[in-house]
Amino acid sequence: MDTANIQEIRDGARLGVISGVTTNPSLAASEGIGNAQDYKAAVQEISDLVDGPISVEVVSQDAPGMVAEGREIAEWIPNPWVKIPSTPAGFEAISILARDGIKINQTLCFSTNQALLGAQAGSTAVSPFVGRLDDIGHQGMQMVAEIVSIFRSYDIKTLVLAASIRHTLHCTMAAQAGADIATVPYKVLLQMAQHPLTDAGMARFQADWEKAGKS
């Protein structure tokens, strides 16, 4: 799930389909979180609700700052993935943190070359941002497919995590493109579960059952 909203995570987790959570500073800010202490408390609560990796983003712009933050975040919860941006400073930080054994979600990835560099640096997962590329007239999902195909060709172990998912078609297409993971907003998750024929079918079963009971 792609959210920092505790209630959404609680509701999503009950469905039994959630294998991790991704957060970022904007998602945290939308929950009124604006400092490391509150972010840590929220992440710890999320980690108690979900059995899987929780991605937590650094806010530093330089490599030493990212490394220091990453090392701290790694102590917050049992299964952290530290989110590091796809920048030169980010690659430097990824390579240092990966050598420490810290799991990395390489974020803000907008090109296949950025994904290749992150994989070389030691990213556990790379997050191509599909929706934001679509927004500027590119085909974000093509990048996901390209990264998957190259990683498979070279047996690169870095996972491909489709991010910036905007609608249900993105979820299907990410799976079709071979993405290992998709991080999905709660609204889209609920839409994935919906089908009008399922609703109509349930209503008919119910009506037929009640009719038979009265006859």
How do 159-162 and 181-182 pair as beta strands?
Answer: parallel
Question: Is 69 a residue that touches ligand E4P (CB under 6 A)?
Answer: no
Taking CB under 6 A as the criterion, the residue among 47, 112, 123, 183 binding ligand E4P is: 183
| Minimal distance, residue 204 CB to ligand E4P, in Å | 38
Instruction: Kindly state the tokens that stand for 165.
Output: 């998912």
In the bound complex, what is the minimum distance in angstroms from residue 135's beta carbon to ligand E4P? Answer: 8
Three-point CA angle 88, 90, 93, nearest 5°: 115
Task: Choose, from 40, 83, 157, 187, the residue flagged as catalytic.
Answer: 83
Active site residue 40: no
Contact 43, 83 (CB under 8 A): no
Asked if 39 interacts with ligand E4P (CB under 6 A), we say no
Both tokens of residue 28? 């945290």
Crossing angle of helices 186-193 and 6-14, rounded to 10°: 30
Q: Which is nearer to ligand E4P, 27 or 156 (CB)?
A: 27
According to DSSP, the residues that pair with 163 across neighbouring strands are 129
Say whether residue 123 binds ligand E4P (CB under 6 A): no
Kind and range of the H or E element at 106? Answer: strand 104-109
Instruction: Give the relative orientation of helices 168-176 and 186-193 as an angle to the nearest 10 degrees.
Output: 80
Quote the least distance from Cβ 4 to ligand E4P, whole Å.
Answer: 10
Among 63, 70, 164, 182, binds ligand E4P (CB under 6 A): 164
Binder among 71, 132, 138, 167 for ligand E4P (CB under 6 A): 132
Query: Which of 42-50, 123-131, 139-147, 193-201 is the region at the interface with ligand E4P (rule: CB under 6 A)?
Result: 123-131
Instruction: Name the residue among 124, 132, 113, 114 with its Cα closest to residue 161.
Output: 124
Q: Does 106 bind ligand E4P (CB under 6 A)?
A: no
User: Annotated active-site positions, please?
Assistant: 83
Residues near ligand E4P (CB under 6 A) are 2, 22, 24, 55, 107, 127, 129, 131-132, 163-164, 183
